[in-house]
Each structure stands twice: as C-alpha cells, then as structure tokens.
Structure 1
Amino acid sequence: MFSIYSFGRSLAGIRRALLISVSLFILGIVAGWIGTGSLERLLMQQIEGLGGISRELRNSSNPQLSFFIFIFLNNSIKGVLIIFLGALFGILPALFLLINGAVIGYLIHASLLQGVNIVTLIVKGLLPHGIIEIPAIIIACAFGLNFGARVARSLFRRRSREDEWADFLRQTLTVSVWIVLLLLAAAVIESTITFNLMS
C-alpha cells in the first residue's frame, strides 16, 4: 500500500490535477514578481512573519535543530492538511499554491532589485531543499484539488460509488505518508545544507 509503485500509480491517476497545480504555482510566481498594491502588502506580511520566526530560531541554543523541527512540522502538517482541506471544492489548495508561488516570485524579484545575485540565491537558498519540497507541496495540493473535484461530482450524482471513494481514500493515505517522508528529507537538507550555504 505504501510502496513507491503505489505512490507512482496514485500520481498517474491525477495527472490533470498535477498540471493544474503546477500552472497555479507558476501563476503565483508571476503574480508575486509583478505584485503591487494590496498584493504586495499581503506578501510583505507573509515575509515579515517568516523573518520574525527565522530570527527567533537563529537565536535559539541549537539553531539548526530548531530550524529542522519547525520546518518539518510546519510543512508536513500543512502538506497533509491541504489534501483533506481540498474537500472544500479545492479552494484552499488553489490559494495555497498561489500564495506560496507569489512569495517566491516576490522574494526573487525584490532580491534582484536590491542587486543580489539571483543565480546564487536560487542555487544556494532554494534549489537544495526546494527540488524536493516544491514538488511535494504541488503533489499534496494536486490531491487536494482532486479531492474537491470528487466532492463536487458526487453532489450531482444520485448515488455515489463507495468503491471509488474507498480507493481514493487509500491513495490519499499512501500519498500523505510519502508527502511527509519527502518533506522530512527536504527539512533535513534545508536545516543543514541550505542553512550553512546561506549563513
């Protein structure tokens, strides 16, 4: 049930939702890059909040361990929750993708305007852990979108097929386990390699 084969088969079954998730994430990056007005203020609030947490973690007795615990718990809890919150017609996973993409787009654009070397920022600050973390979040949101689509379809059916729901919920459990494992690996990398590269 929790094999890599089962995980791959689950992903193959939601190809359309994965494509939509990637598109929403890219749209978020573009929106963040060109963000002005109320969107810029929203993004600044998100970034300032993260900055405050980062300063507290750096001042702890063991910064790397503190970063690992925070990053892993924060990302894994959100990653699993966003799958099941997708039952609300997929609205929250879509917003989650747009906001996270927008934060990345805004940060990269703001850094560019400040004269920061973007290649170095991406290679050192984003790529080491992001190559695992971003796909994991996109997969979680894709399942959330798929969950929402299934709920919407079931409302217009006279009888829901219990076998379909049982199979989907089994897939959701498998994906949740793999999402946590992927985010665990990403948290280890971010709290060690990325932490040292950006210090």
Structure 2
Amino acid sequence: MLSFFTFIKDLGTIRKTLLLAVSLFILGGVAGWIGTGSLQELLNEQLKGISRISGDLRESSHPQWSFFVFIFLNNSIKSVVIIFLGALFGILPAFFLLVNGAVIGYLIHLSAIQGQDLFTLIVKGLLPHGIIEIPAIIIACAFGLKFGGKAVSALLGAGSRNAGNKEAWSIFMRQTITASVWIVILLLIAAIIESTITFSLLS
C-alpha cells in the first residue's frame, strides 16, 4: 500500500491532472516573469517575507538545523494539507501552484534585471533541492486538483451512490495517503539538501 512502486503506479492514474498541475505552475512562472502592477507588489511582499524568515534563521544559534526544520515542516505540512483542501473544488491547489510558480519566475527575472549571476541562482540556489522539492509540491497539488474534480463530480451527481463509486473513492483516498507519505519523504530529502548543500553553495 505504501510502497514506492505503488506511489509511482498511482501517479499514472492522474496523468492528466499532473499535466494540468505542471501547466499551472509554468503559467504562474510566466506571470511572475512579466508581472507588473499589483501582481508585482504581491510578489515583492512574498520575497520580502521569505527574506525576513531567511535572515532570522541565519541569525539563530544553529542556522543549518534551523533551516532544515523550517523548510521541512513548512513544505511537508503545506503539501499534505493542500491535497485534502483540494476537496474545496481544487481552488487552493491551483492558487498554490500559480503563486509558487510566480514567485520563482519573478525572482529569476528580478535577478536578471539586477545583473545578478543567474548560474549561481539557478544551478546553486534552486537546482540541488528544487529538482526534488518542486516535483513533490506539483504532485501534491495534482492530487489536490484530482480531489477537487471528484468533489465537483459528486456534487453534480456525476458519480451516483453505487458500489462502484464508493470503491473508486476508497481507492482514491488510499492513493492520497500513499502520496502523502512519499511526498513527505521526498520533501525530507529536499530539506536535507537545501539546508546542507544549497546552504553551503550560497554561503
């Protein structure tokens, strides 16, 4: 039930939703890159918040440990919660994808405008942990979007209260539990990398 093979197999059952999640993330990235006006102000506030937290963590007695604990708990809790909040018609997972994509797109564009070294930002600052963290978050949101789609179908009566529909819900809920476990494991690995390798590369 909780094996990695089962997790990978489950991903195959939500291929279309995964594609939608990736598309929303990319759309957010594009919006962040070209963002102006109120969107730019929103993203600036997001980056200021991240910068303040980062500064506080760096000033702690054990910065790397503080980074690890914060990153892991922040990402894992949000990712698991977003799966089940997807039941609210998939609105929150979609918003989460757009905002996270926009923050990354805006950060890269802002760095380029300011003449900063994009190689350092992307290859050293984002890639080591992001290659695991970003897919894990997208997968979490994809399950959230799937949850929302099933909730809408149930509300509209597309899924009648028969044995087959109950079984489909049972299978999906099992998939969300398996996904939650492996997403947390992946984010644990990403947090270890970010608080050690990424931290060292950017220090």
The normalised TM-score by structure 2 is 0.96
For 1:33 and 1:129, the matched residues in 2 are separated by 21
Instruction: String of CA shifts for 1:128-175, please: whole Å, max 9, x gaps.
Output: 000000000000000000000001111122425211111100010000
Instruction: String of CA shifts for 1:73-124, please: whole Å, max 9, x gaps.
Output: 0000001001000000000000000000000000000000111121221000
The equivalent of 2:132 in structure 1 is: 132
The equivalent of 2:19 in structure 1 is: 19
Is residue 82 from structure 1 mapped to residue 82 from structure 2 by the alignment?
Answer: yes
Classify the secondary structure of the residue corresponding to 1:116.
coil
Structure 1 segment 23-172 matched on structure 2, within 5 A: 23-157=23-157, 158-159=160-161, 161-172=165-176
Runs of 4+ in 1 over 3 A off after TM superposition: none
The normalised TM-score by structure 1 is 0.98
For 1:188 and 1:8, the matched residues in 2 are separated by 22
For 1:151 and 1:190, the matched residues in 2 are separated by 36
| Count of aligned pairs | 199
| Structure 1 counterpart of 2:181, from 168, 173, 177 | 177
Q: Which amino acid aligns with 1:177?
A: V
Percent sequence identity over matched residues?
67
The equivalent of 1:4 in structure 2 is: 4
Instruction: String of CA shifts for 1:40-68, please: whole Å, max 9, x gaps.
Output: 00001111111111110000000000000
Instruction: String of CA shifts for 1:11-49, please: whole Å, max 9, x gaps.
Output: 000000000000000000000000000000000111111
Q: Which runs of 5+ in 1 are unaligned?
A: none
Quote how far apart the aligned CAs of 1:5 are.
1.3
For 2:133 and 2:15, the matched residues in 1 are separated by 19
Classify the secondary structure of the residue corresponding to 2:61.
coil
For 2:102 and 2:41, the matched residues in 1 are separated by 12
Q: Which amino acid aligns with 2:104?
A: I
Classify the secondary structure of the residue corresponding to 1:88.
coil
Is residue 187 from structure 1 mapped to residue 191 from structure 2 by the alignment?
Answer: yes
